[in-house]
Amino acid sequence: MVGVDFGGLSGRPEAEIEKTKLSLIKNFVDTYNRGGVTTVAWHFSNPASEGGFYWKEGVSVAAMALIKPAGSKHEEYKKILENIANFAHSVKANDGNLAPMIFRPSHEFDGEWFWWGKPYTSREDFIAEWSSPFLT
């Protein structure tokens, strides 16, 4: 089992994103060819404010309510998720099979260090963000 991060797949210049994709593909395929599986964390930069993925007092904005369906950042968020999904569905190993990956978004959500952490969102907004991102 090998762990990587999808943090480099959004919020960066396109050339940097493409370079990240190539590196990730190599990792997924090499791990699969050795009989392994890759876990994928997602240190997603706050889509509503500066400050990256860590919560920065005075800089970060509580964004979970903004990315859920009907939120002001929901359409942008759906595009980011769609790009990640398209990428994941394109990673094929030498045998033609999709390279397996375990996606771990919003990990450590009960802490206070990430913008998606417990102090910065409600239980209902957190559930809404993951229960139907493409339904509305």
Domain residue limits, the chain: 2-131
The whole-angstrom separation of Cα 122 and Cα 98 is 35
> Taking a C-beta distance cutoff of 8 angstroms, is the pair 106, 77 a contact?
no
The whole-angstrom separation of Cα 85 and Cα 80 is 9
The CATH number, out of the four listed (3.20.20.80, 2.60.90.10, 3.40.50.720, 3.30.360.10), of the domain defined by the range 2-131: 3.20.20.80
> Using CA of residue 50, residue 51, residue 54, residue 55, what is the dihedral sign?
negative
> Using CA of residue 52, residue 89, residue 97, residue 19, what is the dihedral sign?
negative
**pLDDT (tens digit, 9 = 90+) per residue, 43-72?**
999 999 988 999 999 999 999 999 988 899
**Tokens found for residue 113:** 């260090």
Mean pLDDT, consecutive 10-residue segments, the chain of 136 residues? Answer: 92 92 96 95 92 93 92 92 93 94 91 94 87 58
| Mean pLDDT over the full length of the chain | 91
Cβ-based neighbours of 120, under 8 Å, separated by 6 or more = 55, 60, 62, 63, 64, 112
**What local confidence, expressed as pLDDT, does residue 11 receive?**
82
